Amino acid sequence: MSNPVSCAVGNLSTSAMKLDHLCRIANNAQTHVSYATRFPKPEVVVAFVDSALSELFEVQFNIVTVPMVHAAGICEYTKLTPEEFGLLGSFLGVVQQRALVLNSELRAEDFEHNATPHCLFSRGREKEDVATIVERLFVCDSCYEFYRCLGLEQETEALKKVIEFVEYQRIDRSLHRRSRAKGTGERT
């Protein structure tokens, strides 16, 4: 096992996301990428911003930008917390950033992906499509294969764990909500 990838996160957005909570769930879900608000020399920097990008993330050099402007609405629709939404967007970006670090000949068009398979890595969407894609929490086999072929076995395994973790949290909350609703129903 190699050392974890150091990922420094900063919230430049007005979203209700709590950075310490985001780091906690990111590091609980997987161990390959270490999230913290501070690193002396981070390998990746994640910035949560208020811009209206239609993508879940954008990568430039060692900076992953995650747009949070529609996060509240998307979270309400998909039943995710802002931290889980931030974790998903940032982790997808970190995987792509690692691919670029390991493979300097990669170009932006190598990451092009049409929206039809509802994969989290698909590009060029409207806000509604982002919500639909996040609701499904799915990464297609060809994306996993693409990143594995680029030497990112550990990143793809970590991404699967992140997706499983977020899905598990969402199911757990919905079961709690249901049992609470049932409890109230029985009392009345």
Taking CB under 5 A as the criterion, the residue among 92, 119, 134, 159 binding Zn ion is 119
CA atoms of 78 and 132, how far apart (whole Å): 8
Taking CB under 5 A as the criterion, the residue among 48, 57, 121, 147 binding Zn ion is 121
Number of residues that bind Zn ion (CB under 5 A): 4
Residues 32-91 within binding reach of Zn ion (CB under 5 A): none
CA atoms of 158 and 67, how far apart (whole Å): 22
- Among residues 57 and 121, whose Cβ is nearest to Zn ion? 121
For residues 142 to 161, the per-residue mask of contacts with Zn ion, x marking binding by CB under 5 A and - elsewhere, is -x------------------
Q: Give 33's strand partners.
A: 5
Residue 149's Cβ-count burial label (10 Å; 0-12, 13-18, 19+) is: exposed
CA atoms of 51 and 146, how far apart (whole Å): 29
User: Which range binds Zn ion by CB under 5 A, 11-19, 71-79, 104-112, 119-127?
Assistant: 119-127
Task: Show the beta-strand stretches assigned E in 52-118.
Answer: 58-60, 63-67
Residue 99 is a binding residue for Zn ion (CB under 5 A): no
CB 12, min distance to Zn ion, A = 28
User: Which range binds Zn ion by CB under 5 A, 56-64, 82-90, 120-128, 168-176?
Assistant: 120-128
Residue 98's Cβ-count burial label (10 Å; 0-12, 13-18, 19+) is: buried
- Among residues 48 and 144, whose Cβ is nearest to Zn ion? 144
Three-state DSSP state, 48 = strand
Taking CB under 5 A as the criterion, the residue among 140, 161, 165, 167 binding Zn ion is 140
CA atoms of 61 and 96, how far apart (whole Å): 11
CB 95, min distance to Zn ion, A = 11
- Which parts of this chain interact with Zn ion (CB under 5 A)? 119, 121, 140, 143
